[in-house]
């Protein structure tokens, strides 16, 4: 993995810029996660997920985010391989130079964060992409008033449907009614009645293509996942790796961008520690809450 035409410092600057962007993203993600802890039966959380899943600016940023993440991984791995090659014969004695453990283990903590991301994608993000089955939710108003269904209903009342169309319409209506009955009998409505939640893949299959706005139900998926103590502990361990990575990441990015000044160095270092710990604690809050308080 050689990128010969880009100078070492340029590559590092790219890694730093992308890293700072990812740091900001983590703050946004953490903010949404913390909505889970509000005792509002997931109202805020669902709104946030809905916004993130449907807003066009966010959709553009989703592409930018993945490009950034992939660039960050590819460039850092390429740099690391060069770094290993730069010392073909290792020292016999381990280094006793005064350095921080975080700065020396970035590639390994980064690797653990990658493992975390892979696990996290399988648990959550792939459900959104339809690669893995999870839990789903539908906005109640969508379920009741799909524009296509309404148009068909109008045609039906005016007797304009052909016998085949009548048959399909009836099956579709039955499917939607079936969903509503299930929601009613099993109490799947959210407190504010805006959402029918906790639906399985089998539940939503009959209404796919009929009802608009079927979304992954991350709220119930999170509660189910973190109800499993093994998963919670794995997530918590990986958050520690993330904190280690971020403590060095931010101050290192500033240095790479040339932002080093005697007056502000202490502040930048302190801010990196505080930011990393807040992010890690913020993310850890959800599994800890579900593990011990639900």
Partner 1 sequence: MNFTLKIWRQENAKAKGRFETYKVENISSDCSFLEMLDILNESLISNKIAHPVCFDNDCREGICGMCGLYINGRPHGNDDGVTTCQLHMRKFKDGETIWIEPWRAKAFPVIRDLVVDRTAYDKIIQAGGYVSVSTGGVPDANSILVSKDKADKAMDAAECIGCGACVAACKNASAMLFVSAKVSHLALLPQGKVEAANRVQKMVEKMDELGFGNCTNTYACEAECPKLIKRSNIARLNREWICARVGKEK
- Contact (Cβ atoms closer than 8 angstroms) between residue 176 and residue 211: yes
> From the CB of 226, what's the least distance to partner 1, in Å?
34
Nearest residue to 30 (alpha-carbon basis) of 293, 287, 290:
287
Question: What CA–CA distance (Å, rounded) separates 242 from 292?
Answer: 22
> From the CB of 269, what's the least distance to partner 1, in Å?
11
Q: How far apart are the first and last CA of the chain?
A: 47
* Torsion angle defined by CA atoms of residues 254, 256, 258 and 261, in that order, rounded to the nearest 10 degrees: 50
Phi, psi of 197 (to 5 degrees): -125, 180
> Under the rule (CB under 8 A), what is the footprint of partner 1?
7-13, 79, 82-83, 85-100, 103-104, 106, 248, 251-252, 255-262
> From the CB of 258, what's the least distance to partner 1, in Å?
3
Question: What CA–CA distance (Å, rounded) separates 154 from 159?
Answer: 9
Angle in degrees, CA 247, 248, 253, rounded to 5: 115
Nearer to partner 1, 76 or 220 (CB): 76
Nearer to partner 1, 4 or 39 (CB): 4
* Torsion angle defined by CA atoms of residues 273, 275, 279 and 284, in that order, rounded to the nearest 10 degrees: 40
> From the CB of 259, what's the least distance to partner 1, in Å?
7
Nearer to partner 1, 51 or 108 (CB): 108
> From the CB of 89, what's the least distance to partner 1, in Å?
5
Nearer to partner 1, 81 or 237 (CB): 81
């Amino acid at each position: 993995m050689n990128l010969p035409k880009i100078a070492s410092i340029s590559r590092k600057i790219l890694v730093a810029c992308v890293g700072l962007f990812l740091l900001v993203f983590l703050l946004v993600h953490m903010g949404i996660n913390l909505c889970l802890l509000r005792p509002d039966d997931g109202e805020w959380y669902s709104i946030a997920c809905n916004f993130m899943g449907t807003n066009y600016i966010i959709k553009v940023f989703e592409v930018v985010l993945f490009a950034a993440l992939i660039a960050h991984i590819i460039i850092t791995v390429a740099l690391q391989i060069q770094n290993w090659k730069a010392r073909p014969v290792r020292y016999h004695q381990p280094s006793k130079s005064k350095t921080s453990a975080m700065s020396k283990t970035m590639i390994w903590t980064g690797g653990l964060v990658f493992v975390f991301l892979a696990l996290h994608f399988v648990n959550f993000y792939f459900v959104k992409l339809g690669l893995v089955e999870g839990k789903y939710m539908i906005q109640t108003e969508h379920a009741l008033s799909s524009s296509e269904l309404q148009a068909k209903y109008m045609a039906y009342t005016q007797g304009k449907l052909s016998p085949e169309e009548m048959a399909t319409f009836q099956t579709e209506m039955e499917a939607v009614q079936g969903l509503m009955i299930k929601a009613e009998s099993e109490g799947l409505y959210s407190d504010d009645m805006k959402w029918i939640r906790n639906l399985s893949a089998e539940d939503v299959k009959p209404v796919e293509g009929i009802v608009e706005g079927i979304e992954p139900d991350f709220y119930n998926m999170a509660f189910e996942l973190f109800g499993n103590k093994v998963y919670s502990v794995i997530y918590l361990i990986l958050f520690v790796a993330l904190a280690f990575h971020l403590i060095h990441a931010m101050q290192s990015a500033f240095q790479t961008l040339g932002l080093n000044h005697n007056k502000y160095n202490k502040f930048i270092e302190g801010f990196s520690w505080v930011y990393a710990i807040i992010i890690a604690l913020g993310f850890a809050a959800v599994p800890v809450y579900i593990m011990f308080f639900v």
